Amino acid sequence: MSNSEPDGGKKPKAKKKSMKKLIMLPVLVLLVGGVGYKMFLAPKPKPPKMKVAGAVIALDKEFIVNLTDGHYGKLSVALVVNPAPKVASGSTDSGLPEEPVIRSIITDDLTGLATDDLTDRTKRDTIIATILGDIKKKTDEKVTQVLFTDLAVQ
């Protein structure tokens, strides 16, 4: 059994090491490149669009308004305000400095309406749009939506 190779068969091992290096180098480059792309170049995901953009502020007291034919309506109103007003911790105040003006606008817009105007959804939506327009026109509050949270008509 003569060994024909003078280095004792070490050439194939050296060849395997160089093959490993040749394979590892592109893998390492791809890995570093992928991580770099993901961290710095990839487009950032868009945050989901909020269904209610702003803070929902319930007005302190409910409204009782006279309607036509001796009827009356009783309702609670909330406003979507953006940006949200700053309210002291533990306060029961809505945080809206112009709330009395807003309450006056809502009362004026609702008083004297027909009963159907508040019970019919389409007519009610028109009234809500009118109230929102009047609030934007007559106050400095950043109200984006008016909500009737409770409604009773008698």
Q: What confidence tens digit (pLDDT) does each residue in 96-135 have?
A: 889 999 999 999 999 999 999 999 999 999 999 999 999 9
Give how far Cα 101 sits from Cα of 15, 33, 128, 144, Å.
Answer: 87, 60, 16, 16
- CATH: 3.40.50.1010, 3.30.479.30, 3.30.530.20, 3.30.2000.10. Which one for 55-153? 3.30.479.30
Please give the pLDDT value at position 144.
Answer: 94
99-110 vs 121-138: helix axis angle to the nearest 10?
140
Q: Is 105 exposed, middle or buried (0-12, 13-18, 19+ CB in 10 A)?
A: buried
Please give the pLDDT value at position 153.
Answer: 94
- Domain chopping of the chain, boundaries: 7-45, 55-153
* pLDDT under 50: residue ranges of the chain: 88, 91
**What is the value of pTM for the model shown?**
0.67
Q: What integer best gives the mean pLDDT of the chain?
A: 85
Please give the pLDDT value at position 120.
Answer: 95
Please give the pLDDT value at position 19.
Answer: 76
List beta partners, residue 81. 55, 143
